[in-house]
Structure 1
Amino acid sequence: MPASPRTARAINDRLALRFLQDEGPLTAGQLKDRTGLSRPTVADLVERLTASGLVTVVGEAGAQRRGPNARLYGIVADRAHLAALDVRTEGVRLVVADLLGAVLARAELPVEPGEETGAAVERAVALLERTAKEAGAERLHTVGVGAPGLIDPASGELRDSSGLPEWHRQLVAALQERLPARVLVENETNLAALAEQRDGATADRDTFVLLWLGLGIGASVVLDGKLRRGASGGTGEVGFLPVPGTAGLPSATRCDGGFHSLAGSAALLELAAAHGLVGPGQPVERAAGVVRDAVASGADGFLDALADRVVLGAAAVVAVLDPGCVVLAGEVGRAGGEALARRVAERLTAMSPLATEVRAGALGGEAVLRGALLMAREAAQEDVFGPGGRGAAA
């Protein structure tokens, strides 16, 4: 059944807007070439998008071309403003951006372990409001939040998670209550995978697993270009994976005895102490720095032992999913970089008959924040660019 004229116009508009977003300002002739639409159809959609305030003339194609055919059309980036937050155990990092995802302002807020929950939440919300105002974005359209922990697939809410500060959950609720914006929350590992797929280590792949190595252990699964969350939102909770070399088995409430107790930051520091790299009793926040120093100094024995542990989790994931590619991310993953990825790849090749690349994450500490911004941008554009969404406020 052919599409109605209204539906066809909406499809053509979205197609043109996608090219303008991905490639920047284009002339009507360039839009015709990119979309394959006829010249009259392109002229009609350009007029329609300009009248709606989504597109405007931003210049001309060059000195040799003058007149209407040389006009460059671009998306009105300040039609809506976005924010993204990376909520960590130790604080919050955030950015404010325009509709195209161009960052307008950045800010950070440390939160001390003993700080009262209400005070931490209030300071974080106030920082976002202040940063948005200073960036000229007093009214935010969409806010993307990346946080550790399980996200309920039905409600989209951050669940209670043992070991995480209470202010994490309270912050999301406060943002939803205080801001005239849509607030979306997603697990940090899933957002890192989204960012790596769009702009990083797996831009050439539609199936992979991102293994998060940091204060906690997790994984994100992308199959056929789609993020897989599972029935309860727990896909990738590999910290609970029973593995050899631990003192016991994990429970429903604690991952002690699982992969986390073998490759998490606390276990990593114990391993580093056994190799004489640090003294006992180091804070877990030092783990990534220890790995970074080990790579720089060529501490092969420690890095080999770390790879022996990491590969146990990687091999289990590969045996079940056969993703063809595993990305090492998180604080420890990015600190280990290519040196750790190479060692894990060698061991995985020896352990598994399934051909699997192991890559170091390419986006480093920006991965979660970048993923949160991509999530917010996609949701905002769906609203602003979609049928009936052209009246959305900035």
Structure 2
Amino acid sequence: MHTASPHTARLINDRMAYEVLLSHGPLSRAELQQRTGLSRATVAELVDRMVESGLISQAGQAQTRRRGPNALLYGVVADRAHVAGVEVRPDRILVSVNDVTGHQLGTAELPQDPAAEPDRLVYDAITAALADARIGGLDGVVIGTLGVVDPVSGDVAYIQALPTWHSNLLPGLRARLGVPVLVENEVNLVGLAEHRLGAARGHDTFALLSLGEGLGGAVILDGRLHRGRSGGAGELAYAPTGVGGGRLNQLVDGPAVRALAARHGLPAGDAVEAVRQAAPRFLDELAERVTVAAQGVCAVLDPGFVVLAGEIGRAGGPALAARVEERLREATPLPTQVAAGTVEGDPVLRGAVVIALERLHRQTFGLTT
């Protein structure tokens, strides 16, 4: 058993205290001691150390009535660093620039341009978001993209909807920005967002089904994202249904849900609105279809917990999730809870920002875990 060196122990303690301040600050030294379980002397040293390094600063005084001066409060320095989350869609690129607390400072949206180099297009969108935020640079970027990301190179391997987006996105952006850049599949980022912020908090093993215009999936095993050998883990759209040679996406993608809605007399032009109306017979049939996808995932992975995300999954909410859980209970002996995704706003962008901030914090404290 290896014992951490004094230097490593200080980094671990500093990071723990910093994350507590991010989640619960500003706090006094006594409150920080209580929440971290560290000794009074250790907290005093790390507070002084992080103040000196510019990670935290005094943020007022506690408003408690007591004899003598009130305790000083300490909080993170929000503008010490900045990150960007990027979402690549078939028709546009979205960017969110955030400070170290996750507060959004600026945004941008640019239309897709098939003739433009992918790295240039994303760079221009990031530049526009920086101008909106009125800051000069970034300390990290995470990009959520459609398609398959090569786990070895870290670059885009294949995007069916964007045939020109298959090379040089990652090295091109690293050269243009000069900061750490990560490219990740967009559904994987939704899975990470639900794990950190949403329905899957507290579940270190689960599967996510993204139900929207297309069908996708994400797999988290023991708290880690599972990408597969070529980066294609979760590409459920290509899985067969066993019915007439069809594929899963033909059961539950946007066109399939719109056709199902039309058969039930619901608004056929908007799959999400049809699901929101929650007509019982329509939801029953939709749940039957979603269960086909969920059952295959459960049979292979036995995740014990499944999140229904994407616009259709979230619109179906608890009503759709309960129906799928009931049908899984009948179809498989593997106990499986099913829940609707709960991350608000744009889950891809939120996931990108969350992971960008996690990478920034690891970099700040020189730790790899």
TM-score, with length taken from structure 2: 0.90
Q: Which residue of 1 aligns with 2:85?
A: 84
The Cα shift of 1:63 comes to: 5.3
1:13-35 deviations in Å (ceiling 9; x for gaps): 22221211221111112222223
In 2, Cα distance between equivalents of 1:278 and 1:173 = 45
- How do residues 56-205 of structure 1 correspond to structure 2 at under 5 angstroms? 56-62=57-63, 64=65, 70-111=71-112, 115-118=113-116, 122=120, 124-167=122-165, 172=170, 174-205=172-203
2:251 to 237, 259, 262: 262
- 1:379 equivalent in alignment to 2:368: no
Deviates more, 1:169-178 or 1:299-308: 169-178
Aligned length: 367
Question: In 2, are the aligned partners of 1:25 and 1:72 still within 8 Å (CA)?
Answer: yes
1:360 to 333, 340, 355: 340
Q: Which residue of 1 aligns with 2:283?
A: 303
CA separation of 1:214 and 1:387: change in aligned 2, threshold 3 A: closer
The Cα shift of 1:364 comes to: 4.8
The aligned amino acid for 1:153 is: P
- 1:53 equivalent in alignment to 2:54: yes
1:319 to 292, 299, 304: 299
CA separation of 1:266 and 1:96: change in aligned 2, threshold 3 A: same
In 1, Cα distance between equivalents of 2:118 and 2:205 = 38
The aligned amino acid for 2:364 is: V
Question: In 2, are the aligned partners of 1:125 and 1:171 still within 8 Å (CA)?
Answer: no
Question: In 2, are the aligned partners of 1:239 and 1:259 still within 8 Å (CA)?
Answer: yes
1:64-110 deviations in Å (ceiling 9; x for gaps): 35878711111112111011012111212221101121111233334
TM-align CA RMSD: 2.6
Q: Secondary structure at the match of 1:94?
A: strand
Q: Secondary structure at the match of 2:156?
A: coil
Percent of paired sites with the same residue:
47
Q: Which residue of 2 aligns with 1:337?
A: 317
Q: Which residue of 2 aligns with 1:220?
A: 218
In 2, Cα distance between equivalents of 1:165 and 1:363 = 30
In 2, Cα distance between equivalents of 1:99 and 1:64 = 32
The aligned amino acid for 2:307 is: V
Question: In 1, are the aligned partners of 2:59 and 2:73 still within 8 Å (CA)?
Answer: yes
The Cα shift of 1:383 comes to: 1.2
Q: Secondary structure at the match of 1:117?
A: coil
Q: Secondary structure at the match of 1:72?
A: strand
TM-score, with length taken from structure 1: 0.85
In 2, Cα distance between equivalents of 1:156 and 1:306 = 36
Structure 1 spans left out of the alignment, 5+ residues: 249-256, 280-285, 389-394
Question: In 1, are the aligned partners of 2:93 and 2:111 still within 8 Å (CA)?
Answer: yes
Question: In 2, are the aligned partners of 1:118 and 1:167 still within 8 Å (CA)?
Answer: no
The aligned amino acid for 2:192 is: L
1:164-210 deviations in Å (ceiling 9; x for gaps): 35257665554333223211111111111111111111113222110
CA separation of 1:58 and 1:121: change in aligned 2, threshold 3 A: same
Question: In 2, are the aligned partners of 1:292 and 1:336 still within 8 Å (CA)?
Answer: no
The Cα shift of 1:232 comes to: 2.0
Q: Which residue of 2 aligns with 1:293?
A: 274
CA separation of 1:347 and 1:40: change in aligned 2, threshold 3 A: closer
